[in-house]
Structure formats: structure tokens, C-alpha cells
Structure 1
């Protein structure tokens, strides 16, 4: 049982780290002369970096909010897991923990889908999605799987 708990905590922390990195790093869309993320659109054609803050378009704000909410729900889920680990009765399930983690996965998925659909208006000459965008998509199944494991998991001694 201890190995299972360590494995699920490792899976949860891995998803949380991926969420943090994908939200913070400026590599959602890249090209040889520019990169864009949720917060800035930067041109590196000159020696200096020229960054323009994110527009006030509703879709980019929805992506920003979705990614931040996914991080918040994932942190709350990890905190609830440790609380329930010590207070939950034997045989109880981690429903609340699993629910928050599944919500985190749904928020990261919705943010990535919105970015996928609307990014041509944000980055008109986009050639490739960046590695931070891919990390967001990788964080989605990890968070969903860990949330489902939490829902199925029963507390044992």
C-alpha cells in the first residue's frame, strides 16, 4: 500500500510540475525569430528581445484563467489528499481529492483547446506549437489518471 501511495503522489506531483512549467514558460508557440506564451508575444529578430504583453482578448484571458485554476485545483487536491490520508476512516475513498484533481485536468484541457483554436489570431505566423504547450497536453492525462486513481482508491491500514 505504501508503494501505491508513493506512486500516486509522484504522479500527482509530476502533473503539478508540468502545469507550473507550462503556465510560466514562454514557449507555447515558437519560431526562429519569435516565441509566444500566455502572457507575452516576444520577437527575437534583433539582438534585443521585444515583448508585447498579452492582448486583452477574452480567449487569452480564458486560457490564462484555466491554467491558473488547474494549478490551484491540483494544489488543493494534493493538500486534501494528505489531510484525508490521516483523517479518513478505513475503507473510505478519496472522492474529494479525486474530484479536485479531475477538475484540474479539465481546466488544463479547456485552456489548451482554447489556445489551439484561437492561437492563429494571437500569433499570425505560427509555424509550430512550443514545448510548453505540449507539456500542458501531457499534464492533462496525468492529472486525469491521478484523479481517477484517487476516486477508485480506498484507504487501508
Structure 2
């Protein structure tokens, strides 16, 4: 049982790190000497980098908000898991943790879908931060489903 709990905890920490990296990294779209993310659009010329803030369009602000919510809900579900692990009665299930983790999964999925549909520059390729966000989605969904099934034992 201890190994299962340790595995779930490591999976949860890995998902949290993936969400933080995908939210803060500057590689949602890359190409040539240009890279864009949720916050900045940078162009490298003659060894120097020139960055400007992301557009003020509603869709990018929605993606920013959803990714921040995904990170927060993943963090809150980690705190809830640790709290329930020590305070919950024997035989109880981690429903509260599961709900937060599934919500984090849905937020990151919605953010990635909005970015995919609304991203204006089709000449750029998707970067690693975009891929990391898509990897974090099924992992957090699976983690949430594991929390639903998981039961606290002695």
C-alpha cells in the first residue's frame, strides 16, 4: 500500500511540474528565429532577443487563465491529498482530491484546445511547452481517476 501511495504522490508531483513548465516556458510555438508562448512573443536577430507581450486578445487571456487554474487546482489537489491521507478515516475515498485533479485536467485540455484553434500564425510549429501541456492532460485525468478508486487502508 505504501508503494501505491508513493507512486501516486510521485505521479502527482510530476504532473504539477509539467503544468508549471508548460505554463511558464516560452515555446508554445517556435520557428526559425521566433518563439511565442502564453506571455511573450520573442524574435532573435543578430544575437539579440527582442520580446513583446502577447496580444491582448480574449482567447490568449482565456488560455492564460485556464493554465493558471490548472496549476492551482493541481496544487490544491496535492494539498487535499496530503490532508486526507493523514486526517481521513480508514476506508474513505479521495473524492475531494479526485475532483480537483479532474478539474485541473479539464482546464489544461480546454486551454490547449483554445490555443490550437485560435493561434493565428500557422507558419510556426508547436513547441515543447504545447506538447507538455497535452501530455499533462491525460496524466492528470488518469491521476484523478486513480484518486476516485484509491481507498485509505491501515
TM tier, smaller: over 0.9
Contact 1:73 / 1:100 at 8 angstroms: preserved in 2? yes
How far apart, CA to CA, are the structure 1 residues paired with 2:139 and 2:9?
A: 12
The secondary structure found in structure 1 opposite 2:27 is coil
- TM-score normalised by the chain length of structure 1: 0.96
Partner of 1:66: 66
Alpha-carbon RMSD across the aligned residues, in angstroms, is: 0.9
The secondary structure found in structure 2 opposite 1:155 is coil
How far apart, CA to CA, are the structure 2 residues paired with 1:156 and 1:47?
A: 58
How many residues in Structure 1 have an aligned counterpart in Structure 2?
Answer: 154
Partner of 1:89: 89
The secondary structure found in structure 2 opposite 1:43 is strand
Which sections of structure 1, spanning at least 5 residues, go unmatched? none
Give the alignment of 1:28-43 within 5 angstroms.
28-43=28-43
Output one character per residue of 1:55-112: Cα deviation in whole Å (capped at 9) or x when no partner.
Answer: 1100000000000000000000000000000111111100000000000000000000
How far apart, CA to CA, are the structure 1 residues paired with 2:111 and 2:45?
A: 29
1:140 corresponds to which of 127, 137, 143: 137
* Structure 1 residue ranges, 4+ long, deviating more than 2 angstroms after superposition: 124-127
Deviation of residue 126 (structure 1)?
A: 2.9
Deviation of residue 52 (structure 1)?
A: 1.2
How far apart, CA to CA, are the structure 2 residues paired with 1:72 and 1:119?
A: 24
- TM-score normalised by the chain length of structure 2: 0.97
Which sections of structure 2, spanning at least 5 residues, go unmatched? none
